[in-house]
Amino acid sequence: MNKLGVVIKMAVADELIYRTDILIFVLAGVIRPIVMILLWLAAINSGAKTPFSKEEFIQYYLLVMFVDIVVGVWSSPFISAKIRSGRISPYFIRPFNYIFFDLGNNIGEKIFKFLYLLPILAILSWAFHANPINFNIVILLVFLLSLINAFAINYLLDICVGLFAFWIDDIEALRETNDLLGLIFSGFIFPLAILPIFVQQVALILPFRYTLSFPIEILMGKLSNAEIITGLGIGTFWTMAIVMLTVLIWRKGIKKYSAMGD
């Protein structure tokens, strides 16, 4: 754990150079949810019946901005580049060494993103007259648990996509598919509650909901205790499944890679 701390500190020092770029990134990240809020507000003002009220939509999208930054990942292009250029070779002996550096960079960059995001969120909450969230310590703990799970799923999925570079020339298509499915089924563009019932049931078993929508649903108090427990169960299942998948792909990938390289 101490190693991780050191790597994070290094990453923060590195990211200082990009502090303006990170600000712009955070601003870009909040625009789409703001546009969606405006759209839903306009729709409701014209009498559309929606599963969420005005206040709930505002709360939802503000939380989306927050959780999206918490679970954000961007590792796959770097992993695939390292695999294709051969620079992954030093990591063969200790594969988890690479994950350390990558995680460190991820968390380090997020510290900056939060420095920018929190004031922006405060301003937006005031501008939209957002309702404060009612929560008790139990809900908060469960929320944090689901956040950790959310990040794990998102991160490992991304690593898996990157590792496919052992077999595919250009993982862009795979990455875009993953991103697109994630956009729709994680609840980033719209709350899953507005989907037709049968599509919602599909979304319940896919892993994407547990990367964004599920933590938000918990915090907004939209789930019964039974639903929370079921959700945590499915989420944990997906985490474990993707961990196994990652290890499997890594092992198979190394075998193929070594066979080709030597």
Partner 1 sequence: MPLRIRRYFWLIIKILKYSLIGSLEYRFQTVVRIVRMFIESFTVLFIISTFFQKSQTVAGLSADTVILTYAIFNLIWATLYFFISDNLIDLGDVIRKGDLDFFLIKPVDIQFMISSNQMHPQNIVRMLIGIVIALYAVSSAQISITPLYFIIFTMTAFSSLLIGYSLLLFISIFSFWTFSNEIYELANTSFSMARYPLEIFPKNVVTIMTIIPMIFISTVPSRVLLGHVDYLTFIAPLIAVITFASSRYFLFFALKRYSSASS
Interface ranges with partner 1 (CB under 8 A):
17-18, 20-22, 24-25, 27-29, 31-32, 35, 38-39, 42-43, 45-50, 168-170, 172-174, 176-177, 180, 184, 189-190, 194
69 to each of 38, 94, 125, how far by Cα in Å? 21, 29, 17
Name residue 197's amino acid: I
Listed in sequence order, the DSSP H helices in the chain are 2-15, 19-45, 54-70, 76-85, 95-127, 137-163, 172-185, 197-205, 213-219, 225-261
What minimum distance in Å lies between the beta carbon of 27 and partner 1? 6
Q: Considering beta carbons, is residue 118 or 189 the nearer one to partner 1?
A: 189
Q: Considering beta carbons, is residue 24 or 229 the nearer one to partner 1?
A: 24
Are 242 and 160 in contact by the 8 Å Cβ rule? The answer is yes
What minimum distance in Å lies between the beta carbon of 175 and partner 1? 10
What minimum distance in Å lies between the beta carbon of 261 and partner 1? 24
Q: Considering beta carbons, is residue 49 or 129 the nearer one to partner 1?
A: 49
What minimum distance in Å lies between the beta carbon of 121 and partner 1? 17
What minimum distance in Å lies between the beta carbon of 170 and partner 1? 6
Q: Which residues of 223-255 are buried (b: 16+ CB within 10 A; e: fewer)?
A: beeeebeebbebbbebbeebeeebeebbeebbe
Q: Considering beta carbons, is residue 135 or 164 the nearer one to partner 1?
A: 164
Q: Considering beta carbons, is residue 39 or 144 the nearer one to partner 1?
A: 39
Task: Report the alpha-carbon distance of residue 213 to residue 207 in Å, rounded.
Answer: 11
